[in-house]
Amino acid sequence: MIKLNKPLRAQCAEFIKQEEGLRLQPYICPGGVKTVGYGHALKPTDSVKEITEEAALFILKDDIGVALDAIDAYVYVELNQHQIIALCSFIFNVGVDAFRKSTLLKKLNAGAGAGEVAEEFHRWNKAGAVVITGLTNRRKKEADLFLTPVPSETLATSALSVSTIGMETKKKHWFLELLMRFLGLRKKA
């Protein structure tokens, strides 16, 4: 699991809160999904009539955890703080499954440049086939943040606060898998 320092986790929450706004009573979002709080998608079986702001924050923290777990599970390249926040917002909004299947993730893991990856955010601005201005604006903010360098004086600390045991393990597994393939090919030769 991604170990983020609280300020970075709080930055994810603040970014999402600005984009989602707070609604204490359920509503239907432009994508046609019943939603409450800071953009939390409800299940069809949920019968929520109203929540408190405290409950909305608790749900948001949980939803951020889901997004960060998805980054940990599916992203195999190093990310800076801004990239994590941008991806967290994106995953929070489109969902883990959509992210997992996205060209954005494929390009990111293939080592595409940040600009090429950032362009992929812009493709996710529709509900159905309809372009939604709010999503277009949100994707621009996410892409801009993804491209924003982390100030050099925080690079050393951000590497420590963003790195995880999970990511380190994945790197080792990736290398081990590559080594095993190499050794397997050598045995056949």
Query: Helices marked H in the chain — which ranges?
Result: 6-20, 53-74, 81-94, 96-100, 103-109, 114-121, 133-147, 152-162, 165-188
Give yes or no for a contact between 120 and 114, defined as CB atoms under 8 angstroms apart. Answer: no
- For the chain, residues with pLDDT lower than 70 are 1-6, 152-189
Which of the residues 14, 19, 20, 120 is marked catalytic?
Answer: 20
Catalytic-residue membership of 78: no
Quick one: pLDDT at residue 31? 87
What pLDDT score was predicted for residue 7? Answer: 85
Structural domains of the chain sorted by starting position, each given as residue range(s) with its CATH number in brackets: 6-188 (1.10.530.40)
**51-104 tens-digit pLDDT:** 999 999 999 999 999 999 999 999 999 999 999 999 999 999 999 999 999 999
> pTM score, two decimals?
0.79
- Three-state SS for 41? strand
